[in-house]
């Protein structure tokens, strides 16, 4: 009689329908794990339901982990970027072995199966009833019980004693476990997150990530792949496009180019009008068509070029719900405004109050009331500018130093990542210098002050209806806002809100992705308080991150911006590592977040 607890599944990718029709489908433990993780956010029991585009994106990603045609490991999982650089293969095999054990293990006096189903129960979810539901539960909360799950694996497939003559009292195991899949984990992981990296064609130092409506990923590259890049030398990169499964669509090495862009910073933004905007270290702006990556124009229009003449290096781009585009001039402490996203109508914002409070502005987001929220690199303030209100008021909120990413939740609350904690000593001011020069000045101070073992960084939430401070001298004005993650985050940079209004943070120095409870914790985070840091994901594939974004399948896409800081900061680095300064590619963490609509224009929207 079949064991009702052992249930296998396979979610079939539309990309493989013709191959499946010819060769058939394999359903086994490996396909069960892969399908559970990529489609984790769409299962109710064993029924897939929800947004069709999100489910389609999820299904298309399953073969990256395991092929439903062969029932064995996918090509992306086995490529050099992954097979030796992260634990994903061993994690997947270990979980698959637990499914096998559920139908075979019988330990007298110990309810192994019951303990397994308990350990597979997701955060704020129901206890699973079978192996397929168990894998879905683990996928939804892969950080929850990793030690318990590994302990169950150890009990099911105990490590045998040395199988060969060994030195007396040797502690080194030389025999394999009897697990059905190898390689497996040798010790408990910090979590069971399924992570894959993508770098085909050379993706080097991606800055800001942006997703279009079809789930394609767009990112401007700080530097060109293969070059000896750093703050003292380098060749600028272009615009890269990957499809929703991580397959490269843009030209290798150079990416899409045009309109004078030479090295994109933290300015990449997809609009609902079918374009992708990119800002450049050299002060240029590129606007590219989503369908083929071609530049909208050969050159910047003359009147916009006049506005750009003295603007210097550019960074963040904000797309308003009404279609307006706002861009920060980081080197010049200015804002650029493009009504209705018209590249022909660009102008510098003339507002004395605004110019007084911008200090190396970095990121920008626009809410449904058309208020513009701007982070500052060289001050502890966030600026809120209301251009459509009477007298165009400019408000300030005191946070911490090194303002970076800005994101709006569905209620219009503004979340900001700051590189430093509130009490961290001020870094070297970089007003009036190029962005790259700013890195050269600021990073050594940050590293020296921190040392090897200390952390700095914080995340703030400014409520949508918060009252600003009155004083202009922030050196004597403390913040009345809570610094979330202080002491746990490490130089946070990019920040995104998922479809449950929870927060995901890219840690630059911490080389990880942090999950935090949002403004009004509900659903799976209802037992937490606003700003609680629930878990941080680390991996060999995760380098120094500048961004994290959520797609319509609940996948997290992350930008590896730097890899070896010593290479970045040296004028003539060790030749053996001279191409290792910029980070290697982008990576995905499957099915771990609540899906969000893309592109994100203004506040986030769940699906």
Q: What percent of the chain has pLDDT over 90?
A: 82
Angstrom distance (rounded) from CA 445 to CA 425: 10
Judge whether 547 and 558 are in contact, CB under 8 Å.
yes
Angstrom distance (rounded) from CA 359 to CA 379: 6
* pLDDT over 90 at 360, yes or no: yes
The mean per-residue pLDDT over the stretch 531-558 comes to 98
Residue 179, domain member (yes or no) = no
Report DSSP letters for 236-260, one per residue. B--EEEE-TTS-B-SPTTT-B--TT
Q: Which residue, 306, 345, 303, is CA-closest to 324? A: 345
Q: What percent of the chain has pLDDT over 70?
A: 92
Q: Which residue, 555, 552, 550, 561, is CA-closest to 586? A: 561
Judge whether 495 and 416 are in contact, CB under 8 Å.
yes
Judge whether 278 and 289 are in contact, CB under 8 Å.
no
Angstrom distance (rounded) from CA 540 to CA 197: 10
The domain that holds 388 is classified in CATH as 2.120.10.30
Domain coverage including residue 56:
14-156
User: What is the torsional sign of CA 510, 203, 61, 90?
Assistant: negative
Residue 6, domain member (yes or no) = no
Angstrom distance (rounded) from CA 504 to CA 421: 18
> Same structural domain for residues 240 and 370?
yes
pLDDT score, position 470: 54
Angstrom distance (rounded) from CA 223 to CA 563: 13
Residue 175, domain member (yes or no) = no
Residue 190, domain member (yes or no) = no
Rounded alpha-carbon distances, angstroms, from residue 15 to 58, 183, 222, 450, 470? 12, 28, 32, 48, 57
Judge whether 122 and 202 are in contact, CB under 8 Å.
no
State whether residue 465 is helix, strand or coil.
coil
* pLDDT over 70 at 296, yes or no: yes
Residues 6+ apart with CB under 8 A from 603: 367, 368, 408, 409, 410, 411, 412
pLDDT score, position 425: 80
State whether residue 46 is helix, strand or coil.
coil
Q: Which residue, 384, 374, 259, is CA-closest to 315? A: 374
As separate numbers, helices (DSSP H) first and strands (DSSP E) second, the chain gives 13, 27
Rounded alpha-carbon distances, angstroms, from residue 25 to 10, 15, 419, 489? 8, 14, 48, 44
Q: How many CB atoms lie within 10 A of CB 321?
A: 14
Q: How many CB atoms lie within 10 A of CB 318?
A: 25
Judge whether 196 and 226 are in contact, CB under 8 Å.
no
> Same structural domain for residues 259 and 350?
yes
> Same structural domain for residues 152 and 207?
no
How does the average pLDDT of the chain come out, rounded? Answer: 92
Judge whether 257 and 294 are in contact, CB under 8 Å.
no
pLDDT score, position 119: 98
Least confident piece of the model among 34-43, 111-120, 156-165, 398-407: 156-165
> Same structural domain for residues 57 and 142?
yes
H or E segment to which residue 447 belongs:
helix 435-450
Q: pLDDT (tens digit, 9 = 90+) per residue, 226-277?
A: 999 998 889 999 999 999 999 999 999 999 999 999 999 999 999 999 999 9
Which residues share a beta bridge with 582? 562
* pLDDT over 90 at 431, yes or no: no
pLDDT score, position 127: 97
pLDDT score, position 574: 95
> Same structural domain for residues 144 and 268?
no
423 pLDDT band, cuts 50/70/90, is confident
> Same structural domain for residues 219 and 85?
no
Among residues 91, 126, 156, the one where a domain terminates is 156
293 dihedral zone (left: phi>0; alpha: psi -120 to 50; beta): left
Residue 162, domain member (yes or no) = no
Angstrom distance (rounded) from CA 252 to CA 139: 33
* pLDDT over 90 at 600, yes or no: yes
> Same structural domain for residues 250 and 327?
yes
pLDDT score, position 607: 87
Residue 167, domain member (yes or no) = no
Residue 172, domain member (yes or no) = no
pLDDT score, position 326: 98
Angstrom distance (rounded) from CA 223 to CA 217: 18
Count how many domains the chain has: 2
Q: Provide φ and ψ at 392, rounded to 5°.
A: 45, 65
Residue 279, domain member (yes or no) = yes
- The strand ranges marked E within 290-412 are 314-319, 325-329, 334-338, 347-348, 361-366, 372-376, 381-385, 394-398, 403-408
Judge whether 281 and 265 are in contact, CB under 8 Å.
yes
pLDDT score, position 519: 97
pLDDT score, position 471: 45
> Same structural domain for residues 462 and 580?
yes
Per DSSP bridges, beta strands 275-280 and 285-289 are antiparallel
Angstrom distance (rounded) from CA 315 to CA 374: 11
Least confident piece of the model among 163-177, 318-332, 527-541: 163-177
Among residues 99, 129, 156, the one where a domain terminates is 156
> Same structural domain for residues 151 and 265?
no
* pLDDT over 50 at 558, yes or no: yes
* pLDDT over 70 at 83, yes or no: yes
Report DSSP letters for 256-297, one per residue. B--TT--SEEEEEEE-TTSEEEEEETTS-EEEEETTT--BSS
Among residues 156, 182, 216, the one where a domain terminates is 156
Q: pLDDT (tens digit, 9 = 90+) per residue, 14-31?
A: 989 889 989 999 999 999
> Same structural domain for residues 216 and 73?
no
Least confident piece of the model among 305-309, 484-488, 491-495: 305-309
Residues 6+ apart with CB under 8 A from 138: 36, 95, 120, 122, 144, 149, 192
Angstrom distance (rounded) from CA 515 to CA 537: 8
Cα–chain center distance at 246? 14
pTM of the model: 0.95
1 pLDDT band, cuts 50/70/90, is very low
> Same structural domain for residues 227 and 349?
yes
Angstrom distance (rounded) from CA 429 to CA 85: 37
Angstrom distance (rounded) from CA 473 to CA 342: 37
Q: pLDDT (tens digit, 9 = 90+) per residue, 143-202?
A: 999 999 999 999 999 998 765 545 556 555 568 899 999 999 999 999 999 999 998 777
Which residues share a beta bridge with 515? 504, 535
The mean per-residue pLDDT over the stretch 91-105 comes to 96
Angstrom distance (rounded) from CA 211 to CA 498: 13
Give the chain's end-to-end CA distance (angstroms, integer): 41
Judge whether 492 and 507 are in contact, CB under 8 Å.
yes
Angstrom distance (rounded) from CA 334 to CA 332: 5
> Same structural domain for residues 507 and 387?
yes
């Amino acid at each position: 009689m079949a064991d009702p607890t052992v249930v296998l599944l396979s979610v079939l990718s539309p990309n493989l329908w013709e191959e499946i029709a010819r060769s058939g489908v394999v359903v086994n433990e490996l396909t069960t794990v892969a399908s559970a993780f990529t489609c984790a956010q769409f299962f109710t029991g064993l029924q897939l339901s929800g947004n069709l585009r999100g489910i389609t994106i999820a299904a298309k990603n399953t073969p990256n982990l395991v092929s439903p045609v062969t029932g064995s490991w996918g090509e992306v999982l086995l490529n050099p970027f992954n097979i030796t650089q992260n634990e994903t293969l061993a994690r997947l095999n270990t979980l698959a072995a637990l499914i096998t054990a559920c139908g075979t293990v019988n330990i007298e006096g110990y309810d192994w199966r019951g303990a397994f189903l308990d350990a597979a129960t997701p955060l704020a979810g129901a206890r699973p009833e079978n192996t397929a539901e168990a894998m879905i539960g683990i996928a939804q909360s892969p950080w929850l019980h990793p030690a318990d799950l590994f302990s169950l694996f150890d009990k099911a497939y105990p490590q045998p004693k040395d199988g060969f003559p060994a030195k007396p009292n040797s502690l080194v195991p030389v025999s394999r476990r009897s697990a059905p899949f190898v390689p497996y984990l040798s010790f408990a992981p910090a979590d069971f997150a399924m992570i894959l990296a993508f770098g085909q064609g050379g993706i080097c130092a991606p800055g800001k990530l942006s997703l279009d409506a079809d789930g394609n990923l767009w990112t401007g590259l700080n530097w060109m792949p293969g070059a000896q890049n750093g703050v003292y030398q380098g060749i600028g990169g272009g615009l890269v496009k990957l499809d929703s499964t991580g397959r490269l669509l843009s030209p290798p090495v150079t990416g899409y180019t045009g309109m004078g862009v030479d090295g994109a910073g933290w300015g990449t933004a997809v609009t609902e009008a079918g374009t992708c905007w990119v800002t450049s270290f050299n002060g240029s702006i590129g606007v590219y068509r989503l369908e083929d990556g071609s530049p909208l124009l050969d050159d910047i229009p003359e009147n916009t070029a006049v506005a750009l003449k003295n603007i210097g290096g550019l960074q963040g781009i904000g797309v308003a719900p009404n279609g307006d585009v706002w861009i920060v001039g980081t080197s010049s402490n200015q804002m650029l405004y493009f009504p209705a996203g018209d590249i022909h109508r660009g102008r510098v914002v003339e507002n004395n109050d605004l110019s007084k409070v911008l200090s190396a502005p970095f990121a920008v987001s626009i809410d449904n009331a058309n208020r513009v929220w701007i982070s500052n690199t060289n001050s502890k303030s966030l600026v809120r500018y209301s251009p459509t209100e009477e007298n165009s008021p400019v408000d300030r909120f005191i946070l911490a130093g090194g303002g970076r990413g800005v994101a709006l939740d569905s209620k219009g609350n503004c979340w900001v990542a700051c590189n430093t904690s509130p009490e961290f000593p001020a870094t070297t001011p970089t007003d009036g210098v190029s962005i790259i020069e700013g890195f050269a000045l600021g990073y050594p101070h940050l590293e020296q002050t921190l040392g090897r073992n200390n952390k700095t960084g914080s995340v703030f939430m400014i409520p949508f209806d918060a009252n600003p401070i009155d004083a202009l001298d922030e050196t004597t004005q403390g913040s009345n806002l809570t610094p979330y993650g202080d002491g746990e985050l490490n130089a946070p940079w990019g920040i995104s809100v998922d479809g449950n209004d929870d927060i995901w943070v890219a840690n630059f120095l911490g080389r990880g992705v942090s999950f935090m409870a949002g403004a009004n914790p509900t659903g799976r985070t209802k037992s937490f308080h606003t700003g609680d840091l629930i878990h941080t994901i680390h991996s060999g594939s995760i380098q120094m991150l500048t961004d994290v974004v959520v797609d319509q399948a609940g996948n997290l896409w992350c930008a590896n911006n730097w890899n070896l800081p010593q290479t970045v900061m040296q004028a003539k680095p060790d030749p053996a590592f001279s191409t290792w300064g910029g980070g290697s590619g982008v990576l995905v963490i499957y099915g771990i977040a609540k899906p969000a609509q893309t592109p994100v224009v203004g506040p986030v929207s769940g699906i």
